[in-house]
Chains A and B, each alone.
Chain A
Amino acid sequence: MALTTAEQPSVRASRAPGIPVKRRGSRRGRRSEAVAGYVFLSPWLLGLMAVTAVPMLLSLYISFTSYDILSPLSEVEWVGLENYKRMFTADPSYWRSVTVTVSFALIAVPLKLAVALGVALLLNRAWRGVGLFRGLFYLPSLIGGSVALAIVWVNMFNREGAFNGFLALFGIEGKPWVNDPTWALETLMVLAIWQFGAPMVIFLAGLKQVPTELYEAASVDGAGRFRQFVSVTLPMLSPVIFFNLVLETINGFQGFTAAFVLSNGTGGPVDSTLMYTLNLYIKGFTDYEMGYASAMAWVFLLAIGIITAVFFTTGRFWVHYSDGDDR
C-alpha cells in the first residue's frame, strides 16, 4: 500500500519538463505525497486527537489543580505541584498502593510467563488432538478481564469456597483466602497467572519459527534436551520473550478489574489489594480528588515509560535477533 502511493507522484513528476527524474520523486512530489498520507491518516488522527490526546492534555492540566470532579472546570483552583508533593510526602495510601502493585507485578508476571512458556513447549508437539488442548488452555484468557470471572474467583477462594473443599479432601484446613489480608493479593496473582493464554499463543507461534535444522545440528553435536532448550530454543525465542515481558509487565501494573471486584472497590481487606489504578479510581471518584488522581495517573505513565525504557535498553544484551543485524 505504502509502496504504490510512493510510486505514483514520481511518475507524474517525471513528465514535467526540466525536472530531472529522481528515484524517490521531487520535492513537490514528496510534499503532495505527504499531504495524501495525512489525508488518509486523518480519520485515525482525528480520533486520536479527540479521544486520547485532548483528554490526556486536559488531565495534565487538571493534575496541577484542585479539581474535585463535581464543580465546574472553570472554577478550579491552580495548586501548582501540590498534588505531586502530597503524593511523595504526605499520603501513606499512595506508597501502600505502589508496594502492592510492584509486588504483584514482580511475582505474577515472571510466573505467568514461565507457565505460558512451559505450556507452549508441551503443546508444540504433533500430538493427536493438540489443537483442542491449545483452545482449552487459551480459554481462560478470553474471559480474562471480565467481572464475572472475578466474582467466580471470590466464591472459589472464600472460606466455604471450592478450593478449600478440595484442600479438605487431603485433610488440610484452608484459609479465607480472599478475605484475609495475608492472602488476598496472592489470590489475585493466581488469577492473573491462570490467564496465561495470550502469551502462550505468542510463545507457541515463536516456537514454530525456530528452524528444525538447528535442533538437528545440536543433536548431532551431542546436545541433550536441556542443552537444546538453553542454547537453541531460548536464544531463538528471546525476541518473543522480550515482547511478552514488556506487554505483561504493563498489563500487570494496570491490573484493576479483579482487585475492584474482589474488594468491593475498597482495596481491602486492610489495603491488601489496593492496586495503583484502584487507588487512583478511589481518589478520583470516591474522595472527589480528581486533580490528585490525575497527578497519580501521570506519575504512573512516567513510571511505566521508564520501566519499559529499561527493558528496551537492557534488551540489546539478551535479545537475539537472528537476521545478522544484531546490535
Chain B
Amino acid sequence: MHPGIRTHRRRLLRGLAAAAIAVPLVLGAAACGDDEGGGSTSDPNAPVRLSVFYWGSEARAKLTEDALNAYKAKHPNVDFEVTWQANQGYADKLATLAAGGDVPDLFALDDNMLADFATRNVTADLTEYKGGKIDVSKFPPSLVEYGMVDGKLVGISAGENTQGLVYNKTLLTKNGLPEPTTGQTWEQHIDWAAQVAAKTKVPGTQDPSADYKAFWVWIRQQGKDLYSGKELGFTADDLAKWFTLWKGARDKGATPTPDIIHEGNVTDISKQLVVTGKAGTSWVWANQMPELKKNTKDELGVVAYPGDPSGQWARSSMYWSVARGSDKKDAAVDVINFLVNDQEAVNILGTDRGLPSNIDLRTAFASTVSDPNMKLSIQVENDLASKFGKAPQVPPKGHSTFRSELVKAAENVQFGRATPEKAAADLIAVVQPKLG
C-alpha cells in the first residue's frame, strides 16, 4: 500500500475519534421568556384556535374529541389543536413546552404536578373567573379548594375520584373465597390475601408499600398526613412501620415476589397485577375500574382501601388549567366551563376522568349509565361519600420527588437491600430539602 494513503488513514481515524468526543452531549434548554398573557379577545365571535394538551388512553382521546366537537357545534368560531399522550412522560413534555414558552392554552394536570407548575407560574390564576365565566357553585367545596395553590385558583376539577381496591371477583368465587369489604383492617386484608395465596397460588394482593396513595390513606388513619404545609407530615418511624407492615405480608406469602411487585409499580393500567393475573388485588383509583375491566376477561370488584374509610377523601382526579402566557384565556375558560358544567359534555365524558364534578349533573348522568362496571364504580364512590374525611392540602412542590423516592425506598426493602428503618431515614433525608 502507498505510504501516503496509510498516513491519510491514520489521520482519518484520529480525526473521526476526535469528532466523536465533540458530539454535543450537553443539554441546552433554549428557554424563552414566558410573557404575561396579553389582552383577551374582545369580540366573542372572532375566530379562535385553542391548543389543548392532556394525557390518557385512546378511549379518553375519543371521548374528549367528542366533547370538544360538541363545543364546536355551539361555537363554530372556535377551533382546537389537540395533542395527547400517555401519562408517562406527560409532565416532562409539558415542562419542555414551558421552557420553550410554548405552553398549550388549555392543558390537564393532576395533584401530583399542580403545585410544581402553579408555583412556577405556568398556570394562569383563574380566581377572577370564578362565579363569572366559570361556575363552581355546584361542585363539592373540597374539589374547589383542592384546585387552589397559594390562594390562587389554578385548576378546575375535571372529575372526582378516590382510592379504590380492585379485586378479581372470578378468582375468588371460583375458589369459594370471601370478597374483601370496605372497613376491613389492614391486618385482616393481609390475612385474607395470605389465605387467597394459599388456596389459589396467586398472591392475594399487590404490595402497595411503594404506592404513595396507599401510604397516604394509611398515614391519615394514624392521625397524621402526607404533608403539613411545606414539610412532610410524618416521621421516619411512621414510614418504617409502613414498610414493616408489608414486610410481614411478604413473609406470610400474601404478596408477590419483589420483581413482580416491581412490574406492578407503574401507572400503566394494562400492567396492573389484577389484570395481568399476577395478584388478586390492585391499588388504584376507583374510577379506573371500568378501564381495568377492558384489560381482563375476569369479573372485577372494587372496595375502599383497608382501615377506616375516613382516611380517604373526595379527590379532584384531574384539573383543567390555562396557560399563564395564553392570549386566549377567555375562550379557554369558556371551554372548561362547558366541559364541567354542560350536561351534554358531562354525559359524553362519563367517569373516564372521575365522577363529574358538578353534583347536579353527576346525579342526572348516573341515572343514564348502563355499563355495569361504570355503575359499580359510581355506586362505590357514592356509598363512600358519606364516610369521606376532610380533603388534605394539595401536595407541595417536590411531591414528584417524594413519589419516585418512595418507590426506590420500598423496593430497597423488598429486595432486602435495606432495612425498613434505613430506607425510611434515607427517603426523609433526600425528600425534605426538595419540598417548598
Contacts and interface: CB of A to CB of B under 8 A. Distances in A.
B349 to A, nearest CB: 28
Nearest to A269: B262
Given A266-B404, A324-B3, A69 B98 contact: yes
A74 interface: yes
Main secondary structure of the interface of A (DSSP, over half): helix
B96 A285 contact: yes
Contact of A270 (B99, B120, B417): B417
Residue among B29, B95, B415, B426 with most chain A CB within 10 A: B29
Nearest to A74: B33
B7 A325 contact: yes
B3 A268 contact: no
Contacts of A270: 408, 411-412, 415, 417
A30 to B, nearest CB: 23
Contacts of A58: 28-30
A69 B31 contact: yes
B91 interface: yes
B29 A59 contact: yes
A62 interface: yes
Task: Tell me if B's interface is mostly helix, strand, loop or mixed.
Answer: helix
Interface residues of A, number: 64
Contacts of A288: 95, 116, 120
Contacts of A72: 31, 33-34, 101
A52 B6 contact: no
Contact of A56 (B7, B26, B259): B26
Contacts of B88: 264-265
Contacts of B263: 158, 179
Interface string A278-298: 001010111110100110011
A55 B28 contact: yes
Interface stretch (A8-16, A19-27, A115-123, A301-309): A301-309
A322 B91 contact: no
Interface string B77-98: 0000000000011011001101
A305 B27 contact: no
B408 to A, nearest CB: 6
A56, A180, A246, A269 pick with most chain B CB within 10 angstroms: A269
Given A67-B29, A92-B430, A323-B7, 18 more contacts: A54-B30, A59-B29, A69-B99, A71-B121, A179-B259, A180-B258, A242-B17, A247-B20, A266-B407, A268-B262, A269-B258, A284-B29, A285-B92, A294-B27, A297-B25, A304-B21, A304-B25, A323-B10
Interface of A: 52, 54-56, 58-60, 62, 67-74, 92-93, 158-159, 176, 179-181, 209, 211, 239-240, 242-243, 246-247, 250, 254, 264-266, 268-271, 277, 280, 282, 284-288, 290, 293-294, 297-298, 300-301, 304-305, 308, 321-325
Nearest 5 Cβ contacts at the A-B interface: A55-B28, A176-B259, A179-B259, A70-B120, A323-B6
